[in-house]
């Protein structure tokens, strides 16, 4: 979906993108709300109740950030 969104924006002349914060804006103590497809269904996997320094969120970021960075470099 990211590729589709960027392509649509590119067609409309949009050249700059921003991504959501990886932590809440109130002291970076919690994760933002993140929805993922689980068995084909949307499910909230992280949110304000998630400790931003917790193991589950850290493991997610260790996979997400490199994958996103790779995608950005491949599609800039």
pLDDT in tens, 30-73: 999 999 999 999 999 999 999 999 999 999 999 999 999 999 99
For the cut 80, the answer to whether the pLDDT of residue 26 exceeds it is no
The residue among 24 and 68 whose pLDDT is bigger is 68
Per-residue model confidence as pLDDT tens digits over 3-14 = 999 999 999 999
Query: Could you tell me the residue ranges of all domains in the chain?
Result: 2-74
Closest CA to 61 of 40, 45, 42: 45
- The CA–CA distances, whole Å, from 57 to 10, 38, 53, 64 equal 32, 16, 7, 10
Q: How confident is the model at residue 25 (pLDDT cuts 50, 70, 90)?
A: confident
- In the block, tokens 């959501």 appear at 20
């Amino acid at each position: 979906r990211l590729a589709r969104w960027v392509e649509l924006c590119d067609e409309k002349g949009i050249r700059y993108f921003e991504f959501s914060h990886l932590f809440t804006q109130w002291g970076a103590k919690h994760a933002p709300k993140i929805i993922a497809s689980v068995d084909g269904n949307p499910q909230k996997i992280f949110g304000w109740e998630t400790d931003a320094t917790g193991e589950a969120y850290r493991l997610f970021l260790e996979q997400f950030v490199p994958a996103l960075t790779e995608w950005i470099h491949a599609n800039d």
